[in-house]
Amino acid sequence: MFKKSLTVLLFSLLTSTLFSQSPAITSWLQNTSVTGSYYNSGSSTAIGNGELVNCQKVEYSNDYVYVTASGIPSYTTGPFLDGNPSQAQNQNAIYKFPLNPQPNTGVTSNTTMGTIGVFINGTSLFNYADGVAWDNNTNALCGGPGNSPCSGNTEWNRDAIPAEMAGFDCSKGHPSGGKYHHHQNPSAFKLDLNVVSTICNLYDADGLYLIDSTQHSPLIGYAYDGYPIYGAYGYKNSDGSGGITRIKSSYQLKNITSRPNGPDVDHVITTTGPNGGQQTLFLGYFKEDYEYIVNSDEDYLDEHNGRTCVTPEYPNGTYAYFATVDENWNSAYPYAVNTFYGIYSNALVNSVSEPTTIYTSTVSNELIDLNYLNINIFPNPSTDLIAIQIGQLSKINLNIELSNSEGKLIERKQISAGSTIAYFNTETLYNGIYLIKISHLNGESVIKKVVINR
Amino acid sequence: MKKKILQLILVLILFSGFNFQKIKYFTYPKYFPKPVYNFKNNFLDSNKIKLGRILFYDPILSHNNSISCASCHSPYNAFSHSDHALSHGINDEIGTRNAPALFNLAWQKDFMWDGAVNHLDFQPLSPISHPKEMNENFRNIVLKLSKSKFYKKWFFKSFGDSIITGERALKALSQFQITLVSTNSKYDRVKKGNESFNLKEKKGYEIFLKKCNSCHREPLFSNYQFSKNGLPIDKTLNDYGRVLITKNPEDSLLFKIPSLRNLSYSSPYMHDGRFKTLHEVINHYNFDLYKNENISPELTSFVPLNNHETVDLISFLKTLNDSSFIYNSYNKFPMELLLKMK
């Protein structure tokens, strides 16, 4: 009898430590040593900003998880070539998410300007909007930098993703008043199937993760209502069956040529300012150019841009948003969170106001199969540069060592958690065979051969 | 009378002790030659340098206020441009040449790839008036500057009154550009005895002295003459270099010899930016030179380098990178000056 109850007790203890911890506690990338960097326009040399990257602390109570984050990613930020004078700055933010998020059965909560979710690296998710709209009284764009304020209701609101393309860095992010954020899927422009920005020509093609059409996307963040956000690919069916597929937005461009109380489609305006000039208000320039079309296929999302489904982190199912992309892997409206499925509250809080337990990440002690990371070393054979890129998301810091064929170390680099790329300049290496060793703290390592041949 | 003689003597002492190595705001190492710029006609002054820096970064110098000097001469590229081979000017017009890096200008007599300008003070007129670069004239610039309270203040600070003239603007631009001195590469630290080359760099330096030094002469790493380096003519550009200026057929295909300092920052290479990497550049001399008989005499007996020698040479050339110059905050976009004088 006693023995049996002890077993039950032990079992419940075990389950409480092993199984009760929600992914909302364990998914955050924690870091208290690696600092970030940025690019100046025209220079592909990253410059340190001295700020800790990713999240600095995760703590939880019975009901909430609290995440302290600088808001600085471990991939290099910038440059922002639309005249944006801002740089990513430490936000010292504390975010509070419910551990048991609840669906909203009342009136849907719309997303607002500013942070509406947080990526696992502590950077902000914004919705589509950039604060610019069409003012039907003045027949001009209003709001945002360089425009006069909007008068009255705005019926046509600008979509930041096409409109601010020139200002996004290679990782599809930019800062607003120092707050670095993504409006969309946070992976490098250059690695999309169709590359729509030239920004990565000079700067590293880095981001939070790489889109991989063969694996379920990693959990990349949480919306302010407490539900998880995934990347571009997931299980076809919500019960986890059907294989891996691209999870699709159910929003489509309307078939219109004019906009009531707004400018016609393809109307051309002239703007002033540093990026002034002629601008065409093409179909897709405004949020209202899209409409929601119900699709019964399970890989199409609802009007919030999410669905209830099984994911690797939630084997029993959860409601989840997806950072949607099109068949070219270009960001697809409404990009991540359109409206909140759950009960919304502003997750940004000033302090932690209840007793909590600090969660120490165990990920660095876990056995990690480095082959799972799909390490890509290119070009091989190489001439002036060798890049090492991991296939999806790295939750750990990886050491990368370049040595000659006798094993003599030449240079050491790191791919920090939440970034994907490292490279060696090989201009001053003789032709020959070299070794790249990728390893992490618990000693596991992979060695790959590269050839330098000019 | 006595007092006046004393003053005269003092002045004489001051002038005789005028050491070019220690001109205020302008210093250079002992192993550098004397600069050729005539400082007497444009004494360096802290405010004039700052005004020149503000002008250098201000698109007001172009016709539609869209292109500044820095648009093509970015500090992070040693004041050249790395994104495209040929410079992009006003309204996205594309020129015929690669924007050259700007540093150590006080040692140079001829400017532009073809030597079209022979004085630094007048050089800015060239890009400013070029229809594909800034497409502007100085009369209009002076009109635009004169409407600005901000510039009136700066001209007052620099010249003692707020009258804005083209000459003053040009002199201020020269002052800023003169202060773009790059003398703190690893090569310089080795030269001063503070560091030493590694084995590859040392071998590369020996190769450099034998093969490159007659044109790219140390310590400036150019003799700032003109040379034919055997590049085949690009038929889309038909750029024959210095002959366009001198009309002397012998000057066909002569281009100004650029300095090799800060090479890693100033890719792409050559007057038309045709090469992206140092290996491509050296392989031109290794493999393609013999195809062209019309080359300068220094190159006629060039013996190609083998693979190892090429790597050694590049290892040395990379010691000419001066990161302290690239990240010198006095050369950057003058944010602090713009904020202070709003």
- Its ipTM equals 0.83
Distance CA(B111)–CA(B177), nearest Å, equals 13
The percent of residues in chain A predicted with pLDDT above 90, rounded, is 75
Q: A203 CA to chain B: closest CA distance, Å?
A: 11
A263 vs B81, residue with greater confidence: A263
Q: Calculate mean pLDDT across residues A92-117.
A: 96
For A125, A353, A356, A360, the CA distances from A60, given in Å and listed in that order, are: 22, 11, 5, 11
Chain B from 148 to 167: CB within 8 A of any A CB: none
Q: B185: which residues sit within 8 A by CB, 6+ positions away?
A: B261, B262, B319, B320, B321, B322
SS3 A359: coil
What's the confidence (pLDDT) of residue B206? 98
- pLDDT-derived band at A271 (thresholds 50, 70, 90) equals confident
Residue B317: closest C-alpha in chain A: A428
Residue pair B89/B277 in contact (Cβ under 8 Å)? The answer is no
Chain B interface includes A110 (CB < 8 A): no
Q: What's the pLDDT at B288?
A: 87
Confidence of residue B342 (pLDDT cuts 50, 70, 90): very low
- The pLDDT-based confidence of B341 (bands split at 50, 70, 90) is low
Q: Is B223 left (phi over 0), alpha (psi -120 to 50) or beta?
A: alpha
User: Any CB–CB contact under 8 A between A42 and chain B?
Assistant: yes
Give me A430's structure tokens: 């003789």
pLDDT of residue B340: 66
The phi and psi torsions of B191 (rounded to 5 degrees) equal: -60, -35
- β partners of residue A286: A158
The string of DSSP letters for B200-260 reads: HHHHHHHHHHHHTTTTS-TTTT----EE---PPP-TTT---BTHHHH--GGGTTBEEPPP-
Q: Which of B66, B278, B326 sits opposite A427 (nearest CB)?
A: B278
Among A193-207, A213-227, B124-138, the least confident range: A193-207
- Hey, is the C-beta of A16 within 8 angstroms of any chain B C-beta? no
For residues A62 and A87, the answer to whether their CB atoms sit within 8 Å is no
Say yes or no: B207 contacts chain A, CB-CB below 8 A: no
- Angle at alpha carbon of residue A397, lines to A393 and A401, rounded to 5°: 110
Q: What is the mean pLDDT of residues A117-127?
A: 98
Supply the Cα-derived Rg of chain B in whole angstroms: 22
B8 has a pLDDT exceeding 70:
no
- φ/ψ of A101, rounded to 5, equals -60, 150
Q: Nearest C-alpha of chain B: how many angstroms from A170? A: 15
Distance, CA of A250 to CA of A422 (rounded, Å)? 37
* Nearest partner of B55 among B42, B69, B72, B71, judged by Cα: B69
B135 reaches A (C-beta below 8 A): no
Considering chain B, what is the average pLDDT of its residues?
A: 91
Pairing of strands A318-322, A228-230: parallel
Pick from A64-68, A202-206, A224-228, B276-280: least confident: A202-206
Residue B237 has pLDDT above 50, yes or no: yes
A65-95: b (≥16 Cβ within 10 Å) or e? bbbbbbbbbbbbbbbbbbebeebbbbbebbb
- Write down the mean pLDDT value for chain A: 90
Residue A8 has pLDDT above 70, yes or no: no
Question: Which of A179, A113, A185, A103 minimizes the C-alpha distance to A143?
Answer: A113
- Chain A residue numbers with beta carbons less than 8 Å from the beta carbon of B283 are 454
Residue in chain A closest to B76 (alpha carbons) equals A43
A73 pLDDT band (50/70/90 cuts)?
Answer: very high
Residue A308 phi, psi dihedral angles, 5° rounding: -90, 125
Measuring CA to CA, how many Å separate A94 from each of A14, A65, A123, A135, B300?
30, 10, 12, 36, 69
Spatial contact of B30 and B19, defined as CB atoms under 8 Å apart: no
